[in-house]
Amino acid sequence: MLRPKKDISINTLKISLDNSTLSNHCSNKFPDLINNNEIIATDPDTKLHIIGKYLESINAPRYTNFGTTTKLSVDTHATTHAMNKFASDINKCLHNNMIVGAALLDLEKAFDSVWIDGLIFVLEKNNFPRGLIFLLIDMLTGNYFYTWDGLSLSTEKFSILEGLQQGRVLSPILFNIFDSFTNDATKLEENGVHSISFADDRVIYIADPNVDIMKAKLQDRVNKINDHYLRWNLKINGLKSEIIFFRRPCKQIKVSQYNRIKAAKITITDHLGLKTDIPVKKTVKYLGVTFDHLLHMTNHHKAQLEKAKKAIKINSRIFYNRNLSPKAKLICYQLLIRPLITYAAPILWNMNHTVMRLERSALRSCIGMYRKPETEYRERLSNKKIYKEANITRIDCFYLKLGRNYYANYRNIENPTMDELICPDDNICLNACASGYVTPEMFTFCDRRGLLQDGNNLPIIYHARRHCFNKKLTTELFEESNKMFSTSLPKVDLCDTHRLNKNYWWLQTDAEYLDEIRRRTVWDH
């Protein structure tokens, strides 16, 4: 006979504010639970969250990343950080009338070519625990494989002598450790040369007003890193590597500079002594973002829009399925399509409005509403009506929200790469906004000055009438007469008060345009 199980109950949790392990986290996550110097949790979900945080505080010290403690890897290093650093440096150099030469190096079979004995030497040299080293040796050596022709396996097995297997969780980390001393060994980052490495993607770039000096330094660093990699069993593929020269438009540079840039070439020498010209491109792709030589970034947005259109077409059986509810379709849209449109949003926030049209088309298919029934289906539904029925945040408002969440954690990122990327003083920001070479971290300055979104939550930066190449952010751009497109917002965006969040530290000082939101919030309560 089956007996019904009794529900497991968790008593009310009372946490003293003196408990620093949990009080700081709970105060930020659940500020409404504080009562008389105690945090009182009665909701089951809240209780489980707090218990999980407590267990995490016990177990976390056991799993300290040894690579982080030895400065060989960074836990918080992400692709967005590398793109942020790259875009910020280029914008600063172009603002100062410099030419930037960048080499994006492609390693031929990078993971498969890792020298195992060399990796063990690096681990031993950096005093990794012997037990961990022997564990890695056991994991990396003694592997073999069979071949299969679709019907049968080979009788002979083949040993894997070198390389890190693709798909393993540890492979990117071990490759970073193997490549960690490259900058010091080749003296890459000297005399104004910069280098960013993320797994097997490495970019070297140098800025100088003199094209010949810039080219000579870039060629020297490419030669040094090529020689170093050849000694460590790695090979740079010259045909798949790319060179790009970032510059201002032709009207803003000298003819002699333009001619030197056009004639500039970088070569690479293989182990046989054969020289190969690295292709010079006007657009390159780095960590999923397409950079063009004028830094307009329009090619990236076009590419992402094409990806989103293809994704909608591939999943048309979802979006045009009459048997699925609109809510299910909207969830699929937010999971499958929006991430493509908003890729690297915190870095590329200074863009035009082209994403709006695609989203409205997708939302019409999700909610299954195209024309007004009261006009005998002759007139199309208004954009405001579409967003009201969909009840989701508009893509331009969502874009800015992603940026705010990214820069809210900027100060807490324990990453040496990001230490230099702090928003400069207001005068430098104003000059950059006037020139159009706005660095990504100036998002906080523009947001504080009300250049991105006004007191009515309208994302004015995406309603300003300007060419897609124009990245200048001046006061004349945001005048009422210069606004275009419908400025009506759905209720979900109009009533949004997320900018009052205390985590947005740059909005807690003199952002006077937020007074309207504060007034509405008080009135609603």
341-400 pLDDT per residue, tens: 889 888 888 887 677 788 888 888 888 888 887 777 778 888 888 888 888 888 888 989
> In this structure, are 243 and 386 located in the same domain?
no
> Average pLDDT, stretch 49-66?
56
Q: Which residues contact 466 (CB under 8 A, 6 or more apart)?
A: 352, 472, 477
> In this structure, are 247 and 178 located in the same domain?
yes
Decide if 124 is inside a domain: no
**pTM (2 decimals)?**
0.78
Q: Where are the alpha helices (DSSP H) in 190-323?
A: 211-231, 255-263, 298-314, 316-319
Task: Evaluate whether 264 touches 232 at the Cβ level (below 8 Å).
Answer: no
Give the end of a domain, one of 236, 268, 292.
292
Decide if 22 is inside a domain: yes
Q: Say how far residue 379 (Cα) sits from the centre of its chain.
A: 40
> In this structure, are 275 and 329 located in the same domain?
no
Among candidate residues 278, 277, 275, 264, the one with its CA nearest the CA of residue 213: 264
DSSP string, 379-398: SBPPHHHHHHHHTS--HHHH
> In this structure, are 323 and 229 located in the same domain?
no
Give the end of a domain, one of 267, 292, 317.
292
Give the end of a domain, one of 244, 262, 292.
292
Predicted confidence (pLDDT) at residue 181 exceeds the cutoff of 60: yes
> Average pLDDT, stretch 478-495?
74
Decide if 237 is inside a domain: yes
Task: Evaluate whether 394 touches 68 at the Cβ level (below 8 Å).
Answer: no
> In this structure, are 278 and 317 located in the same domain?
no
Helix, strand, coil content of the chain in percent (nearest 5): 50, 15, 40
C-alpha 515/C-alpha 86 separation (Å) is 36
Task: Evaluate whether 108 touches 232 at the Cβ level (below 8 Å).
Answer: no
> Average pLDDT, stretch 93-120?
90
> Average pLDDT, stretch 73-77?
55
> In this structure, are 44 and 186 located in the same domain?
no
The secondary element (H helix, E strand) that includes residue 323 is none
> In this structure, are 267 and 176 located in the same domain?
yes
The predicted structure's pLDDT at residue 30: 66
> Average pLDDT, stretch 326-333?
91
* HSE-up (13 A, CA, CB side) for residue 9: 4
User: Domain range spanning residue 38?
Assistant: 13-60
Q: What is the pLDDT of residues 392-440, one digit of tens each?
A: 888 888 989 999 998 888 777 776 667 677 777 888 888 988 888 989 9
278: which strand partners? none
Report, in angstroms and rounded to the nearest whole number, the Rg of the chain calculated over CA atoms. 27
> In this structure, are 45 and 91 located in the same domain?
no
> In this structure, are 313 and 405 located in the same domain?
yes
**Domain at 245, CATH number:** 3.30.70.270
Structurally, how many domains does the chain consist of? Answer: 3
Among candidate residues 182, 244, 262, 249, the one with its CA nearest the CA of residue 207: 244
> In this structure, are 501 and 425 located in the same domain?
yes
C-alpha 294/C-alpha 411 separation (Å) is 30
> In this structure, are 372 and 414 located in the same domain?
yes
Decide if 243 is inside a domain: yes
Decide if 135 is inside a domain: no
Higher pLDDT, 334 or 522: 334
Q: Which residues contact 175 (CB under 8 A, 6 or more apart)?
A: 110, 111, 114, 164, 199, 200
Higher pLDDT, 125 or 65: 125
Least confident range of 244-253, 261-270, 321-330, 421-430: 421-430
Phi then psi dihedrals of residue 92, to 5 deg: -60, -45
Q: What is the pLDDT of residues 212-248, one digit of tens each?
A: 999 999 999 999 999 988 888 888 888 889 999 999 9
> In this structure, are 268 and 351 located in the same domain?
no
Tell me if residue 67 falls in helix, strand or coil. helix
Decide if 189 is inside a domain: yes
Cβ atoms < 10 Å from Cβ of 241? 22
Predicted confidence (pLDDT) at residue 75 exceeds the cutoff of 60: no
Distances (CA, A) of 310 to 306, 313, 340, 344, 525: 6, 5, 11, 19, 45
The predicted structure's pLDDT at residue 101: 93
The dihedral built from the CA positions of residue 226, 229, 233 and 238, taken in this order, carries a sign that is negative
Percent of the chain with pLDDT over 70: 80
Confidence at 63, pLDDT banded by 50, 70, 90: very low
Among candidate residues 293, 283, 238, 290, the one with its CA nearest the CA of residue 261: 293
Decide if 421 is inside a domain: yes
Query: Which of the given ranges, 75-89, 215-229, 414-428, 467-481, has the highest pLDDT on average?
Result: 215-229
* HSE-up (13 A, CA, CB side) for residue 162: 13
